[in-house]
Amino acid sequence: MENLDVMVLRTLRDWRQSGKRALLATVVRTWGSSPRPVGSIMALCEDGAVVGSVSGGCIEDDLIYQYTQAYAASETKKIPSGPPAFVKYGVSADEAHRFGLPCGGTLELLLEFDPSAADLERLVTALEAGQLMQRQVSLKDGAVTLSPSAAPAELSVSASDLVNTFGPEYRMLLIGAGQLTEYLATMALFSGFAVTVCDPREEYRSAWSVAGAKVLSEMPDDVVTAFKPDRRSCVIALTHDPKLDDLALLEALETDAFYIGAIGSRRNNDARHQRMAEHFDLTEAKLQRLRGPIGIYIGSKTPSEIAVSVMAEVLAVKNGVELPRDMAVAQAKNERAVLHNDPGDLVCGIKR
């Protein structure tokens, strides 16, 4: 599954280019709990088709009714013309219940009517080319200004403008095409990542079965160089083979990738750090960026569960969530060992 924002904007562009009327809804403010974060977008076509989301579904239903079904029996235009308009949901307890908002939740949307097809084409083309773009909307007349952005930024609203930054889809490069990679690639795809898998071993590539992921046969370090990881990219080594993993990780550590990691136990991770420090003269600062063992500790043993733990960690890092490591993991393992009366699992000097 592709990046949701790009999919919404591309679909909205197609509607407008075909002459259909449509609106773009953007979450601009929330109070209390809300189903979708600020910056979430949804497009609504005059025929009632919807792509994207600004809530758990009930608000989408209301927008469909307000701007399509309510006018179906009349000659009135379904979607109004004019400057952007703000609309709030969940101001009262009754509304919060009606629209499925959490208790105390309030949501404010900005509705843009009939966005320019030409502006949408420019924006989608830039995003598909891997550019980070800022979209500024005049609240007075809906005029849009597009410009490249140097860094991601939170949505902002002033008395005169709304500014939202759209980035290209997040990318994941996986080294190795084994079973664990298949599970992780599947999860990454439905999380909106573009997935590339690299494995020079034909016997692994020939068994690959996940549609939607790009599979390459070149050596991993060359693939990392050509991939050009940026701040919306992650690189994960999954072969357990230093000849394949290490050089790829070395290349990745020279980039701005937001997540770089390798599968393996703590012992394997320590050995990897030692190899890189001794043979490649890597500084401790760079080695600190290399994650391992990867994944959130959930007691996982099977490839599918390990993939869940790794994907959860990738998403947490992407979303800026600080994760407990080391002592927290050891404590969790000890508590699990005590719960199951299995002293063989105890950590921290007792038994590992």
Number of domains in the chain: 3
Q: Examine the domain organization and report whether 147 and 252 are in the same domain.
A: no
Neighbours of 103 (CB within 10 A): 10
Widest Cα–Cα separation across the chain:
78
Q: Examine the domain organization and report whether 311 and 188 are in the same domain.
A: yes
Q: Examine the domain organization and report whether 58 and 192 are in the same domain.
A: no
3-state secondary structure the chain: CCCHHHHHHHHHHHHHHCCCCEEEEEEEEEECCCCCCCCCEEEEECCCCEEECCCCCHHHHHHHHHHCHHHCCCCCCCCCCCCCEEEEECCCHHHHHHCCCCCCCEEEEEEEECCCHHHHHHHHHHHHCCCCEEEEEECCCCCEEEEECCCCCCCEECCCEEEEEECCCCEEEEECCCHHHHHHHHHHHHCCCEEEEECCCHHHHCCCCCCCCEEECCCHHHHHHHHCCCCCEEEEECCCCHHHHHHHHHHHCCCCCCEEEECCCHHHHHHHHHHHHHHCCCCHHHHCCEECCCCCCCCCCCHHHHHHHHHHHHHHHHCCCCCCCCHHHHHHHHHHHHHCCCHHHCCCCCCC
Q: Examine the domain organization and report whether 89 and 228 are in the same domain.
A: no
Q: What is the pLDDT of residue 10?
A: 95
Q: Which of 131, 166, 201 finishes a domain?
A: 166
Q: What is the pLDDT of residue 326?
A: 46
Q: Examine the domain organization and report whether 347 and 335 are in the same domain.
A: yes
Reported as a single tens digit per residue, the pLDDT across 189-208 is: 988 898 999 999 999 999 89
| Segments forming the whole domain that contains residue 308 | 171-320
Q: Examine the domain organization and report whether 233 and 267 are in the same domain.
A: yes
Q: Which of 129, 151, 166 finishes a domain?
A: 166
Q: Which residues of the chain have pLDDT under 70?
A: 1-2, 32-35, 56-57, 69-77, 91-104, 325-352
Give the Cα separation of 60 and 78 in Å (integer).
15
Reported as a single tens digit per residue, the pLDDT across 299-324 is: 888 999 999 999 999 999 998 888 77
Token reading at 190: 């439905």
Q: What is the pLDDT of residue 348?
A: 37
Token reading at 74: 């009349």
Q: Which of 122, 150, 166 finishes a domain?
A: 166
Each residue of 108-126: b (16+ CB within 10 Å) or e?
bbbbbbbbebebbbbbbeb
Q: Examine the domain organization and report whether 270 and 327 are in the same domain.
A: no
- The burial class, CB within 10 Å (0-12 / 13-18 / 19+), for 268 is middle
Query: What does the radius of gyration of the chain's CA atoms come to, in whole angstroms?
Result: 24
Q: Examine the domain organization and report whether 231 and 274 are in the same domain.
A: yes
- Asked if 84 and 111 count as a contact pair (C-beta separation under 8 A), the reply is yes
Q: What is the pLDDT of residue 11?
A: 97
The residue length of the chain stands at 352
